[in-house]
Structure 1
Amino acid sequence: MASSPAQKRAAAKAIEDHIEPDTKKAGDWADTETNAAVKAFAPKDGDGWVTSGALKKAHDTWDGQVQNLMSRLASEKAALRSTNTVLQNTDLGVGTDVRRISPIEGY
């Protein structure tokens, strides 16, 4: 609330230009590496490690958390971009209500 509209736009731009793409890139890298590890520990000739299934389950959980983070970042970005408009419209509405002429003033 104490930041300027320019600072809010800069924060939204930073989320869009750096944080979201970097988070996606890290998630993609983790997908590749984890899938390779799951495959390495997978059953061969009927025998495999329990680690393979555990890695897969952990990665699925982590993937869901990354998706939640990406959604949160998108909503924060949208909120930063709309805050100035919302606050300005609220100020205008309050100003309009305050300036209303009272019925008593007509007499």
Structure 2
Amino acid sequence: MANGSGPGGSDRLKTNEAGKKAAAKALRNDIRPDVRTAGTTAEEGTAQAGTALHGWSTAKALKNVHDEWDRQVRNLQALLSADEEALTKTAEGFSAFDRRTGKGFDDQRTNELLRRFYGGTKAKGD
């Protein structure tokens, strides 16, 4: 590694903003709704089986399984939601940071030009 660069020899931080946005969109529009649908379908079948077996110890076991399934689906939904939010914020954060950094360079260039114009004296507010 030369000059603080990582593997591949590039000294620039790169991010795939479009990829992050696409992944967040897939989580929001496809994956989370599909998990919700699959979770609901399994819950309905388990509840029906529990009702049919009312009075049997198997019904109580199915109720326990149903409750655990519901908890796991909610946990998975929360994780997927957190991933979606992190992807969105990361994409937005990189863009905002890039804009602020660019503006900082623009300000530095402007200040340098003013210094040169005024013959080496500092510009007002510098």
TM score, norm. by length of structure 1:
0.75
Where does residue 86 of structure 1 map in the other structure? 93
2:19 aligned with 1:12: no
Change (3 A) 1:2 1:40: farther
- Structure 2 residue runs of 5 or longer lacking an equivalent are 1-12, 109-121
Show CA shifts across 1:2-22 (max 9, x none): 651000010011111110111
Residue from 52, 63, 66 that aligns with 1:40: 52
Q: Which residue of 51, 54, 58 corresponds with 2:65?
A: 58
User: Aligned partner of 2:78: which letter?
Assistant: S
Identity %: 37
Report the counterpart of residue 40 of structure 2 in structure 1.
Answer: 28
Instruction: Report deviation, 1:85.
Output: 2.5
Q: Which has the higher helix share?
A: 1
How much has 1:84 moved relative to structure 2? 2.2
Using the TM superposition, give the Cα deviation of residue 31 of structure 1 relative to its aligned residue in structure 2, in angstroms: 1.3
Q: Which has the larger radius of gyration?
A: 2
Q: Distance in 2 between matches of 1:2 and 1:67?
A: 34
Aligned residues: 96
CA distance in 1, matches of 2:14, 2:40: 36
CA-to-aligned-CA distance 1:46-77 (integer Å, 9 cap, x gap): xxx11000110111011101001001111110
Instruction: Give 1:90 deviation, angstroms.
Output: 4.7
CA RMSD of aligned residues (A): 2.5
Q: Which residue of 1 aligns with 2:74?
A: 67
SS in 2 for 1:42: coil
Greater RCO between the two (CA within 8 Å, min separation 6)? 1
